[in-house]
Amino acid sequence: MKVLINGRLVDEKDATVSVFDHGLLYGDGVFEGIRVYHNRVFVLDRHIDRLYRSAKAIALEIPLSKEDMAAAVVRTCKANQIENGYVRLVVTRGVGTLGLNPYLCKEPQIIVIAAGIQLYPVELYEEGLSIITVGTMRNHPEAINPRIKSLNYLNNVLAKIEALNSGVMECVMLNPQGYVAEASGDNIFVVKGRTLITPPTWCGALEGITREVVMELAPELGYTVKEDVLTRYDLYTADEVFLTGTAAEIIGVGVIDRRPIGIGKPGPVTVQLAERFKEFTRVEGTLIE
């Protein structure tokens, strides 16, 4: 596998960063996870835009134009002959001192990795996930704002640990006010009749790219989509609950906190949206050539 580091393609065994890089020392940087379908980088422009928004929020100036960054992603996919896979795009603060001062860091490090990924076993897309509510709260927006896709993912990691220690693969995270924010690595939707409801970003949800795509595709199928605050009561009493994410795509939830949701497996709305999403991935994206 070839990894792109600061414009150079190197073998993965030679893909290294300094131990003084603030991305390693402090989680100081931003990233994107991007999918490739059918030799196309899916909604690449949206991912690049979010990357630059995250960087701006942490005062990290990326030394590449958006166009050059997109070209770097395509170049890495082509070098690894990725037709269907996953891209991890990382920008670190760069090499600095052992102190916190980010302004002492040298040039930001730009890393592009293109490989494969499978987040959940195939059978769970048919059976549905069992998940729990965890005690780890989503970050307060005036701490690390959840809308920033930063390298500091410890909040999510701690939630994931709680889930795994309880024997499930995913969880529900609440915000400090007790409202539903998201899962440890995915956005969350509730289905009530023909209405889809997802927490607003101010509740602690990431501005998910797959979330955004689903919100655009659902009205084409005759569904109403809205952002609204949700409590666990809304999850428990929903007709359906599903999660969305770049790696997860669309996956139904069958059980939350030992309570069956709807029919206890992915419902018809979830299945229909997943099929429409799959169709969309066949035609949307930046061609790798």
**Rounded CA gap, 181 and 173, in Å?**
6
**Rounded CA gap, 69 and 87, in Å?**
13
Q: Please give the structure tokens belonging to residue 46.
A: 């949206």
Q: Is-catalytic flag, 149? A: yes
End-to-end CA distance of the chain: 18
Q: Considering 2, 149, 160, 265, which one is annotated as catalytic?
A: 149
Where b means 16+ CB within 10 Å and e means fewer, 225-239 reads eebeebebebbeebb
**Rounded CA gap, 168 and 183, in Å?**
12
In three-state secondary structure terms, 87 is strand
Q: Which residue has the tokens 């655009």?
A: 216
Q: Please give the structure tokens belonging to residue 100.
A: 């916190």
CA atoms within 13 A on the CB side of 95: 6
The residues that are catalytic are 149
